[in-house]
Amino acid sequence: MGCCLLSSASGDVRRCRRGLQCRMAHRRNRMATDSSRPFFAAQHLAKHFGGIQAVAEVSLDIAPGEIVGLIGPNGSGKTTTINMLCGALNSDGGKILLDGADLTGMAAHFFARHGVARTFQVPRLFRRLSVLENLIVPALSDRRVKRAAAEDMADDVLEFLRLSHLSQDYARSLSGGQQKLLELGRALMLDPKLILLDEPFAGVHPRLLNQIIEHIKALNERGMTIVLVDHNLDAIRSVVRRVAVMAQGRKIADGSVDDVLRDPAVIHAYTGSRKSNGRAGS
C-alpha cells in the first residue's frame, strides 16, 4: 500500500503507510468534530460576459462529507458556476468560503492549495506521458512533496482506481472511461478537501460508468466532500441524495432528488412545459 501525506505542526510532510484510506479516515474524523457550519459555501455568486449575465445570485452550502449534484439543461450556467467554485473564473459578485477560509477572488492555484480539486468533462491529461507520470506531476506541484512520496501516493491511487495494470501505458492509449478515471486520480493526488466533478459520466461505456459510480461512492463514504455535475440523471440519482438545479443562470431548486425532479419549475426548465408525467428528465 502507498503512503499518505500528513502535515505536522511544523509544516513538514511525512509518510503514513496506510495510504488513501488513511487520508480519508483522518478527514472524516476531523469533519465529525466540526459539522455545525457549512464546510463549503458559495454566497450570491454572479458572473457577466459583456452584457450577458451568465450566473445570477447563486448560493450553495455544502456540509462536510456531503455529495451534492448540480444539474440543469444546457446553457443553464453550471459550467460557469463550477469555474468560479474552483477559481478558474473570478466572480463579479458574492463570496466563496471553504472550511473557514475566504477564497473569493483567489486564483485557481490558491483554491488547489486550500484543498479544491476539479476534473473536466474532457480529461486534461499529458497524453504522451504514462499513466503513472500523469499522477505524479500534480503531486509535485507542492514543493514539499518528494518524488518518492509522490510515487507512493500514485501507486495507492492506481490501486484504488483499479488502474495499476495500466501504470506504464501512455495516457493517450486509454479508453474514454479509463481517461475519466485517470482524471479523477489526478485530482486525488492533490489530497483535496473538496472535489468538483464536471460530467464524469459523459461518453463512458456502461461497464466503466458503474465503476466510476462505485469510486465516487467509496470516496464519499470515506469522508470526501463532492459536487457532481452531469446530465445523466439516472447516474446522478444512484450517487447523490441532494441536487441543486440551475436554469438561465439561476438556482431554481435545491433539495432531495425525488422532490426536486417533481418540482414544476424544474420540469419546465427541462421540457419547456409545466405538464409532465411527474419527473424531469424522464
Q: What is the pLDDT of residue 104?
A: 95
For the four alpha carbons of 158, 162, 168 and 172, in that order, the dihedral sign comes to negative
Domain ranges of the chain: 65-90+106-271
| Identity of residue 103 | L
Residues in the chain with pLDDT < 50?
1-17, 32-33, 275-278, 282
pTM recorded for the entire structure: 0.83
Q: What is the pLDDT of residue 31?
A: 52
Contact 96, 139 (CB under 8 A): no
Q: What is the pLDDT of residue 4?
A: 45
Closest CA to 41 of 84, 90, 89: 84
Q: What is the DSSP string of 195-242?
A: EEEESTTTT--HHHHHHHHHHHHHHHHTT-EEEEE-S-HHHHHHH-SE
Left (φ > 0), alpha (ψ -120 to 50) or beta: where does 166 sit?
alpha
Residues 120-157: tens digit of each pLDDT: 888 889 989 999 999 998 777 777 777 888 888 899 99
Q: What is the pLDDT of residue 14?
A: 38
In this structure, which CATH number among 3.30.420.40, 3.30.200.210, 3.40.50.410, 3.40.50.300 belongs to the domain 65-90+106-271?
3.40.50.300
Task: State how far the Cα of 116 lies from the Cα of 196, in Å rounded to an integer.
Answer: 8
Closest CA to 266 of 60, 42, 44, 73: 73
Q: What is the pLDDT of residue 19?
A: 58
Q: Which helix (H) or strand (E) holds 252?
A: strand 250-256
